[in-house]
């Protein structure tokens, strides 16, 4: 097998995006530490800051990376004489690895925060009724965050593909993307979107149902990505 046979686009995307994710997560950690310090100096630390900083923003960051996978790397892949089918085959492992690494960073963030709070004597409470009760439930947090980040990465790819194909299709795909992330939001119970917030509060499922719905959502999104991208025309760039 030659070098070029070993899923090169997967390696290229992961090298670029995972390295970028590490830098961004470091930034999240610094911001989280600064916010915590602010609360400690000017008020009282009562809840986990990482819950907000390490959950809200990273989801949008992963959505952006999903979009970038299509807008940057699909074009690059085709321009080097490869097929869409070959690219889409490598997208699944890409999304899983990126999400798992991000989930791990999220879980490690809680651990680090717990250590800091323990030393300072602050309570590391979570502001919502989460499926994991404590910030030290490392594996539960790791699994749940990986799943939520996977859903957000997948909708990034989906929206990227839809908008590249056709702006109108992109707009029409937004409701589908919201449905795809819904199971994860219901499990995680943290979001900044009104509609999703209402739904996730009212339809809070069991962990098992949430996982089942998440898998179904990934399958539906994957099918939609395939349908949109398999014969996507690559239009000339505007100079």
Partner 1 sequence: MTGSTVEVRDLGVRFGAVHALADLSFSLSANKICGLLGRNGSGKTTLLSVLAGYLRQNAGTATVDGDPVFENATATGKVCLVRGTGDASPPKVAVRDLLDYGKQLRPTWDADFAAELVERFELPLKCTPATLSHGKRSALGITIGLASRAPLTIFDESYLGLDAPSRYAFYDALLADVLAHPRTVIIATHLIEEVGALFEDVVIIDEGRVLLHEDADTLRAAGAAVTGEATLVDSFTMGLQVLGEKSLGRTKSAMVYGPLDDRRRAQAEEVGLELGPIALQDLFVHLTSGGSR
Q: Which residues contact partner 1 (rule: CB under 8 A)? A: 2-4, 8-9, 11-12, 16, 71-73, 75-86, 230-231, 233-234, 236-237, 239
Minimum distance from residue 112 beta carbon to partner 1 (Å): 30
- Cα–Cα distance for residue pair 7/88, rounded to 1 Å: 11
Residue 118: burial class (beta carbons within 10 Å; 0-12, 13-18, 19+): exposed
Minimum distance from residue 164 beta carbon to partner 1 (Å): 13
Minimum distance from residue 10 beta carbon to partner 1 (Å): 11
Minimum distance from residue 94 beta carbon to partner 1 (Å): 15
Four-residue CA torsion sign, 68, 72, 73, 75: positive
Minimum distance from residue 163 beta carbon to partner 1 (Å): 16
Minimum distance from residue 71 beta carbon to partner 1 (Å): 8
Q: Which is nearer to partner 1, 47 or 71 (CB)?
A: 71
Four-residue CA torsion sign, 17, 97, 127, 175: positive
Q: Which is nearer to partner 1, 192 or 230 (CB)?
A: 230
Q: Which is nearer to partner 1, 85 or 115 (CB)?
A: 85
Q: Which is nearer to partner 1, 77 or 114 (CB)?
A: 77
Q: Which is nearer to partner 1, 79 or 119 (CB)?
A: 79
Minimum distance from residue 12 beta carbon to partner 1 (Å): 6
Q: Give the chain as a 3 state SS string.
A: CCHHHCCHHHHHHHHHHHHHHHHHHHHHHHHHHHHHHHHHHHCCCCECCHHHHCCHHHHHHHHHHHHHHHHHHHHHHHHCCCCHHHHHHHHHHHHHHHHHHHHHHHHHHHHHHHHHHHHHCCCCECCCCCCCCCCCCHHHHHHHHHHHHHHHHHHHHHHHHHHHHCHHHHHHHHHHHHHHHHHHHHHHCCCCCHHHHHHHHHCCCCHHHHHHHHHHHHHHHHHHHHHHHCCCCCCCCCC
Q: Which is nearer to partner 1, 63 or 147 (CB)?
A: 63
Q: Which is nearer to partner 1, 78 or 178 (CB)?
A: 78
């Amino acid at each position: 097998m030659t070098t070029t046979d070993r899923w090169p686009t997967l390696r290229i995307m992961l090298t670029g995006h995972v390295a970028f994710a590490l830098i961004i997560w470091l930034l999240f950690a610094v911001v989280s530490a600064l916010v915590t310090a602010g609360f400690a100096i000017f008020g009282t630390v009562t809840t986990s800051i990482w819950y907000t900083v390490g959950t809200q923003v990273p989801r949008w960051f992963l959505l952006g990376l999903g979009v970038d996978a299509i807008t940057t790397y699909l074009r690059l892949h085709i321009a080097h004489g490869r097929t869409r089918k070959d690219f889409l085959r490598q997208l699944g492992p890409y999304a899983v690895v990126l999400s798992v690494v991000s989930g791990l960073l999220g879980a490690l963030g809680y651990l680090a925060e717990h250590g800091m709070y323990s030393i300072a004597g602050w309570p590391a409470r979570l502001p919502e009724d989460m499926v994991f009760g404590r910030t030290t439930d490392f594996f539960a947090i790791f699994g749940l965050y990986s799943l939520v980040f996977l859903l957000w990465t997948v909708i990034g790819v989906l929206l990227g593909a839809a908008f590249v194909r056709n702006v109108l299709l992109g707009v029409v795909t937004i409701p589908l993307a919201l449905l795809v992330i819904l199971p994860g939001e219901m499990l995680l119970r943290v979001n900044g979107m009104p509609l999703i917030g209402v739904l996730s509060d009212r339809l809070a499922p069991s962990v098992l149902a949430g996982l089942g719905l998440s898998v179904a959502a990934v399958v539906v999104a994957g099918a939609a990505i395939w349908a949109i991208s398999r014969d996507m025309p690559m239009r000339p760039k505007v100079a």
